[in-house]
Amino acid sequence: MQRIRTDLLVIGAGSGGLSVAAGAAQMGADVVLLERHKMGGDCLNYGCVPSKALIQTARVAHAMRGAAQYGIAAVAPQVDYAAAKDHVAGVIAEIAPIDSQERFEGLGVRVLRESGRFVSPTEVAAGDHRITARRVVLATGSSPLVPPIEGLDEVPYLTNESLWDLRELPGHLIVIGGGPIGMEMAQAHRRLGSEVTVIEGAKALGKDDPELAQIALEAVRGEGVEIIEGAQATRVGGSAGAVTVETSDGRTVAGTHLLVAVGRRANTADLDLEAAGIETTRTGIKVDAGLRTTNRRVYAIGDVAGGLQFTHVANYHAGLVVRSALFGLPARASTRILPWVTYIEPELAHVGLTEAQAKKELGMGVEVARFDYAHNDRAQAERHTRGMIKVVIHRGRPVGASIVGHQAGEHINFWAYALASKARMRDVSSMVSPYPTYGELNKRVAGAYFSPKLFESSAVKRVVGLIQRWLP
């Protein structure tokens, strides 16, 4: 048994854990990093990176079919699904060195390819090592949640992890789950040539603003994806290549492949948290506003902390923990400034409070401004007119924004900054945006907010009239 004493022990080499390890080591801390599986975690190997690579392939195929609107002959793409997966693997391979063990060892991090488990409130066992650290950061992420559906354990099914091993295009892909992962993969596979049916027990894209989610879902349905809402999958049957799913409303859906995408569960099972006095919740590890667990020496970040499950959230958490663990400075995580994006087309993006949340939490003084993509000249020029930006305002400040439309994920950055910097709508309206750009949407929605106050106000008209009489 080899004993190690260190300043900081990080368990999990996904995005959050790597950010903590890199930052702490470069600032002079002694850091040990444990990873039992792949460096880079879910995001690099199974999540954000491969999914966006496949979505881009599907987007190109879709553009070929729709080229006629630009005066170019439309063609039916010849999709090589195995080659598309090679493209995905190539993208992962290009990024992997940034997350590699060799790079982090070069930064001064001691990397052990072992799992870690607590043996006491102050010690972690990892293979033949016993590690004592001043501070521990749990960044073990999450795994696909597999629901207890009758017959599911007897039928081959895919998750967001095993999907990337598939080399043959599904003839008919059944997706259980209408959240971001389910809808992204549904549209991508439809564009690549599969028949696709999505089964969602509640509302598809139910965490987003319903007004904007409906616009996105209509677009996906318009491409031929069948979306069944309000129906639970109750039983699965069949065999490889011939799967059936029975639903709570009496339907039976038959397909060739099944993707289970109903959510994710925090990876806590192998940590022996009780030995460290660390409590859990239904969604993950219990943490306070500073991301400390019930063991004050231990932090939890990213998916395992039980909040929003996005890579950028894990990276945001990492910055707060480095501030707290290395410098002893106060750090407080806020969900109000955390954006998210669903990468279907049109994209669906959000930050802050939705209209319903704002009216419930803030009460009086909540206003909503909207502006359509169809009134943006760049959107007209490129035929991306389906979409809308919607901003929720309280006492002159934006408190939330939702966007559905072309590159919504890029445009939400502006509103994430506006919320983080506590900007006012007058600040947005004073911005000069180059013409013609999609970025004009942000200025124009501010104009939509101020227009009734300026152009429909009798008081403003009276003041202007008086001033005109006195001007030389």
Is 140 annotated as ligand-binding? yes
Is 141 annotated as ligand-binding? yes
Determine phi and psi for 376, rounding to 5 degrees.
-100, 125
Is 184 annotated as ligand-binding? yes
DSSP label at 439?
T
Is 177 annotated as ligand-binding? yes
Q: How does pLDDT run across 362-408, given as a tens digit for each residue?
A: 988 899 999 999 999 999 999 999 999 999 999 999 999 999 999 99
Is 64 annotated as ligand-binding? no
**Within this chain, domains 2-143+265-327 and 152-263 share the same CATH topology:** yes
Q: Are 300 and 312 in contact (CB under 8 A)?
A: no
Distance CA 19, CA 315 (A): 6
Look at residue 461 and tell me whether its pLDDT is greater than 90: no
Confidence of residue 319 (pLDDT cuts 50, 70, 90): very high
Is 293 annotated as ligand-binding? no
Give the start-to-end residue ranges of the domains of the chain.
2-143+265-327, 152-263, 346-455
CATH superfamily of the 152-263 domain: FAD/NAD(P)-binding domain (3.50.50.60)
Is 203 annotated as ligand-binding? no
Left (φ > 0), alpha (ψ -120 to 50) or beta: where does 369 sit? beta
At 1 the pLDDT is 82
Is 116 annotated as ligand-binding? yes
Confidence of residue 463 (pLDDT cuts 50, 70, 90): low
Q: How does pLDDT run across 153-171, given as a tens digit for each residue?
A: 999 999 999 999 999 999 9
Q: How does pLDDT run across 215-244, given as a tens digit for each residue?
A: 999 999 999 999 999 999 999 999 999 999
Is 52 annotated as ligand-binding? yes
Q: What's this model's pTM, rounded to 2 decimal places?
A: 0.94
Is 142 annotated as ligand-binding? yes
Look at residue 45 and tell me whether its pLDDT is greater than 90: yes
Is 181 annotated as ligand-binding? yes
In which order are the strands placed within the sheet that holds 233-239? 233-239, 242-247, 252-255
CATH architecture of 2-143+265-327: 3-Layer(bba) Sandwich (3.50)
CATH 3.30.390.30 fits 346-455, yes or no: yes
Distance CA 453, CA 152 (A): 57
At 451 the pLDDT is 74
At 452 the pLDDT is 73
Q: Are 383 and 394 in contact (CB under 8 A)?
A: no
Q: How does pLDDT run across 97-134, given as a tens digit for each residue?
A: 999 999 999 999 999 999 999 999 999 999 999 999 99
DSSP label at 332?
-
For residue 97, give every residue at least 6 positions away whose Cβ sits within 8 Å of its Cβ, in sequence order, or none.
103
Confidence of residue 42 (pLDDT cuts 50, 70, 90): very high
